[in-house]
């Protein structure tokens, strides 16, 4: 009953988006009064067939079908499953991914994507792996998935309740559920968090306390059920008044320039070919779009430097094609929808009403028939629906929903509209995205837009931005859900660091438990120790700290890549990375 009431309230709050164009007029600009606040779209809307976005290329013509063979070998309690894919040309409208899994292709509805490891209900192992992957299952329920090259991709530790994923780019993320249903999330080079559940108004919420570089901050999430799974949708910790949302939604009187100061930032030198800010801003949504993309790219750069291996892939590839004006406009349109949605939520919060999670989440996005886009906020390793191969999207990449998923699907198909090359999914590639990953993409957009709104209000009237009317300068109010949240863990940062070490032990134990005849090697990157020692070489080469670049090249030959990372230079060889500082070896990996 509570859920039905909350949905009804949410629907009442947001039933009037269709009249936005009539409510938002330029009278504000002439009278210096705040414009009417935007209204959110109805929670449920008819879902017509998705249309292609401006500047995009629709996927038509013959489709590619991937057939697969699954071989299972059992020995001493460990089960190994091998996924092989063969590709044939077809003229149908469905696309099959790895194993016996099939996913919907744009333009047609295929069977749902299933095929995860039996008994595993969390992490990537609950979904089918990419072509060429191998699943190894231990007698105790733990499991490991290795890529075609034998390196670990995913680990599920049934004893610890821990799931580990190794990114294509070299990063590693660790997610563990504790006995009290709190979660610890650690990712190398990125903020980690500890999440605690709590109740408010008869609904379950989660407070995530993030820790990064000595700084701690909180975010809030509404826990909701969708298609048999539970997802966490971002719930703002504060809301502005209608006057501010109206000002942030409507165009300004005239385009204004704004100096971001990106030129001196290392990340901008790294991604300058991909992203160029607008020369002038005709509306706050365009300013917020550049804020969203720039913050995403700055985070990506920091993670790249921390992992370094991701930087190799990007540095080795040709400069990416720039974000097109059409794609940026699609992002700006999505930003406006989010402003309208948050305005509706703020009104419900002011009336002490519960926010309808179904309306605020991907549940609405996947059913309202609009051409929604998502900006990635971390690395997601996805599956190309055409050939079952794995590719990545990273911070700042843009994906467009390719249509509503089938009724029994566990993934949604999205088309990559903008990416940065290297190991990333090429543009115009259709990829399968799990619902939890898609929700995290939406969460990233909303969280970052909220930070942009905060900065926009703080900087109005400065640096070229127009001054806001008085009604738009009222400070935000704390959301009711944030007032009842549990306190953060006092030693959260230390707990996350310990989790990283525990993950190393976990990988070693699961690798041993799943080993058997024909099992793939389980070696891969780790924060403290590798899962298994590298194979011995017939003629080992000695590299020592302090050697010069010429001495290294004399022993190792020419590197496959050379990365110039400011004060350091990295030589990349097939099985080794050598870091130089001041022309001498400082580190070897």
Kindly give the confidence (pLDDT) of every residue in the chain, 589 residues in length, as a single tens digit, with 9 standing for 90 and above. 433 444 433 443 333 333 333 333 333 333 334 444 555 444 333 333 333 333 333 333 333 333 343 444 444 444 444 444 433 333 333 333 333 222 222 333 333 334 566 656 666 777 778 888 989 999 888 999 999 888 899 999 999 999 999 988 888 999 999 988 899 999 988 999 999 999 998 899 999 999 988 889 999 999 999 988 889 999 999 999 999 999 999 999 999 999 999 999 999 998 999 999 999 999 999 999 999 999 999 999 988 787 664 445 444 456 789 999 999 999 999 999 999 999 999 999 999 998 998 889 999 999 999 999 999 999 999 999 999 999 999 999 999 998 899 999 999 999 999 999 888 999 999 999 999 999 999 999 999 999 999 999 999 999 999 999 999 999 999 999 999 898 888 899 999 999 999 999 999 999 999 885 433 333 333 333 333 433 333 445 678 888 888 888 877 877 766 776 767 888 877 667 888 888 888 888 7
User: What is the C-alpha to C-alpha distance for residues 457 and 287, in angstroms, rounded to an integer?
Assistant: 12
Which residues in 158-214 belong to E strands, given as ranges?
A: 162-166, 172-177, 183-187, 192-200, 203-212
User: What is the C-alpha to C-alpha distance for residues 541 and 550, in angstroms, rounded to an integer?
Assistant: 15
User: What is the C-alpha to C-alpha distance for residues 219 and 444, in angstroms, rounded to an integer?
Assistant: 11
Q: Which two tokens stand for residue 200?
A: 């408010």
For tokens 């063969």, the residue is: 86
Which strand ranges, in their side-by-side order, compose the sheet holding 561-565? 561-565, 568-573, 576-581, 584-588
Determine the pLDDT at residue 102: 25
Determine the pLDDT at residue 43: 39
Q: What are the contacts of 502-508 at 24+ separation with CB within 8 A? A: 502/160, 502/162, 502/176, 503/162, 503/164, 503/172, 503/174, 503/186, 503/527, 504/528, 504/529, 504/531, 506/155, 506/157, 506/160, 506/162, 506/164, 507/152, 507/155, 507/164, 507/531, 508/532
User: What is the C-alpha to C-alpha distance for residues 462 and 451, in angstroms, rounded to an integer?
Assistant: 17
Which residues in 105-261 belong to E strands, given as ranges?
A: 134-137, 143-146, 152-157, 162-166, 172-177, 183-187, 192-200, 203-212, 215-226, 229-235, 238-239
Measure the CA angle with vertex 93, ends 89 and 94; round to 5°. 80
For tokens 């496959």, the residue is: 560
Determine the pLDDT at residue 318: 66
Q: Is 141 left (phi over 0), alpha (psi -120 to 50) or beta?
A: left
Q: Which two tokens stand for residue 477?
A: 């109010």
The full length of the chain comes to: 589
Determine the pLDDT at residue 489: 86
What is the dihedral angle through the alpha carbons of 166, 296, 496, 142, rounded to the nearest 10 degrees?
A: -30
436 and 122 Cβ atoms separated by less than 8 Å:
no
User: What is the C-alpha to C-alpha distance for residues 68 and 281, in angstroms, rounded to an integer?
Assistant: 50
**Cβ atoms within 10 Å, residue 200:** 18
Q: What is the DSSP letter of 19?
A: G
Considering just the CA atoms, what is the radius of gyration of the chain in Å? 25
Secondary structure element (H or E) that encloses residue 298, with its range: helix 284-307
């Amino acid at each position: 009953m509570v859920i039905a009431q909350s949905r009804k309230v949410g629907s009442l709050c947001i039933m009037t988006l269709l009249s936005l164009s009539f409510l938002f007029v330029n009278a504000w600009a002439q009278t210096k009064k705040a414009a009417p606040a935007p209204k959110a779209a109805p929670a449920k809307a008819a879902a017509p067939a998705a249309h292609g976005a401006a500047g995009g290329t629709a996927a038509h013509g013959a489709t590619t079908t991937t057939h697969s063979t699954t071989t299972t070998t059992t020995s001493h309690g460990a089960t190994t499953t091998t996924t092989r894919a063969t590709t044939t040309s077809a003229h149908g409208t469905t696309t099959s991914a790895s194993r016996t899994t099939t996913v919907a292709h744009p333009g047609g509805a295929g069977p749902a994507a299933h095929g995860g490891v039996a008994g595993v209900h969390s992490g990537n192992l609950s979904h089918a792996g990419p072509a060429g992957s191998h699943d190894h299952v231990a007698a105790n329920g733990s499991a490991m998935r290795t890529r075609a090259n034998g390196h670990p991709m995913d680990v599920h530790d049934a004893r610890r309740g821990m799931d580990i994923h190794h990114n294509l780019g070299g990063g590693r993320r660790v997610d563990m559920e504790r006995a009290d249903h709190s979660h610890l999330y650690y990712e190398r080079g990125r903020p980690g968090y500890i999440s605690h559940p709590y109740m408010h108004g008869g609904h379950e919420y989660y407070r995530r306390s993030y820790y990064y570089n000595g700084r701690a901050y909180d975010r809030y999430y509404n826990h909701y059920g969708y298609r048999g799974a539970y997802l966490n949708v971002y719930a703002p910790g504060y809301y502005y008044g209608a006057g501010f949302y109206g000002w942030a939604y409507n165009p300004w009187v005239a385009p204004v320039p704004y100096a971001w100061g990106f030129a001196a930032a290392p990340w901008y030198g790294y991604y300058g070919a991909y992203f160029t800010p607008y020369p002038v801003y005709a509306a706050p949504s365009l300013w917020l779009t550049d804020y969203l993309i720039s913050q995403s790219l700055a985070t990506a750069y920091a993670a790249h430097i921390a992992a370094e291996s991701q930087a190799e892939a990007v540095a080795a590839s040709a400069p990416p094609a720039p974000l097109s004006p059409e794609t940026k406009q699609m992002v700006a349109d999505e930003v406006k929808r989010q402003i309208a949605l948050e305005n509706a939520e703020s009104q419900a919060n002011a009336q002490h009403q519960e926010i309808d999670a179904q309306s605020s989440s991907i549940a609405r996005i996947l059913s309202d028939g609009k051409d929604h886009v998502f900006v990635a906020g971390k690395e997601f390793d996805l599956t190309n629906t055409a050939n079952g191969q794995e590719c990545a999207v990273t911070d700042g990449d843009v994906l467009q929903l390719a249509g509503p998923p089938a009724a029994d699907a566990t993934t949604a198909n999205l088309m990559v509209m903008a990416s940065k090359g290297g190991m990333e999914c090429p543009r115009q590639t259709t990829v399968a995205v799990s619902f939890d990953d898609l929700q995290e993409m939406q969460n990233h957009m909303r969280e970052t837009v909220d930070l942009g709104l905060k900065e926009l209000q703080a900087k109005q009237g400065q640096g070229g931005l127009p001054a806001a009317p008085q009604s738009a300068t009222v400070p935000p109010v704390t959301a009711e859900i944030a007032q009842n949240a549990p306190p953060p863990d006092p030693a959260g940062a230390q707990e996350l660091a310990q989790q990283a070490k525990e993950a190393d032990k976990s990988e070693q134990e699961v690798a041993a438990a799943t080993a058997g005849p024909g099992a793939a090697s389980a070696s891969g990157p780790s924060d403290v120790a590798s899962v298994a020692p590298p194979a011995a070489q017939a003629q080992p080469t000695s590299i020592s700290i302090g050697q010069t670049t010429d001495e290294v090249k004399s022993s190792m030959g020419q590197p496959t890549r050379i990365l110039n990372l400011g004060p350091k230079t990295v030589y990349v060889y097939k099985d080794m990375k050598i870091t130089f500082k001041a022309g001498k070896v400082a580190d070897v990996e």
